[in-house]
Amino acid sequence: MTKLLFVCLGNICRSPAAENIMNHLVAQAGMSDRIECDSAGTASYHTGNPPDRRMRAAAANRDLPMVGKARQFTKADFTAFDLILAMDRENYHNILALVGSAAPSENLQEQYRDKVKLMCDFATEHLDKEVPDPYYGGAEGFDYVIDLLLDACSGLLLELETTAAKKV
């Protein structure tokens, strides 16, 4: 089982969208028994809240389910997940800032650091380096994030399928 964790700031827009899109793509690919997804935020602003209503609306326009409740990223997530996907560089650096306190030895620090990637590294059609935060914008920002995450999640799934095929 490969465990993926998608991380943004508040865990109500980008990371739950990525989690739900990835779950949708994984189910379509018949890989739900091999890939498990979750999401978290680097801040605790929205802990326990569902995804933002505007993100749910943008996802619904594409027949994508949007479920879950916000939670904060914890040090335990380093060991619980195989890959941690940050939505932007600030999230990436905030996650890595916890590596030192989560891993007392240098070998463990490097192991944990290698698990953290930027989500847009997997995009194949969009040139964005970060998933923009649509929280303070209009509906078009949420629509764009869905499009970008569909691209990046598709690329990530392809990468996971390729890696799994090499192991067989």
The pLDDT tens digits for 121-143 are: 999 999 999 999 999 999 999 99
Kindly report the CATH number assigned to the domain that includes residue 59. Answer: 3.40.50.2300
163 pLDDT band, cuts 50/70/90, is: confident
117 pLDDT band, cuts 50/70/90, is: very high
Q: Is 117 helix (H, G, I), strand (E, B) or coil?
A: strand
Calculate mean pLDDT across residues 44-58. 97
Residues catalogued as catalytic = 8, 14, 133
- Structural domain for 16, as ranges: 2-166
Count of the separate structural domains present in the chain: 1
Please give the pLDDT value at position 67: 96
For residues 113 and 35, what is the distance between their CA atoms, to the nearest angstrom?
A: 21
User: How many C-beta atoms surround the C-beta of residue 79 within 10 A?
Assistant: 12
User: How many C-beta atoms surround the C-beta of residue 80 within 10 A?
Assistant: 12
Please give the pLDDT value at position 106: 73
Do residues 21 and 153 make contact, with C-beta atoms less than 8 angstroms apart? yes
Calculate mean pLDDT across residues 84-101. 92
The answer on pLDDT for 167 being more than 80 is no
For residues 26 and 36, what is the distance between their CA atoms, to the nearest angstrom?
A: 9
For residues 135 and 142, what is the distance between their CA atoms, to the nearest angstrom?
A: 8
Best CA proximity match to 142, nearest among 16, 35, 25, 13: 13
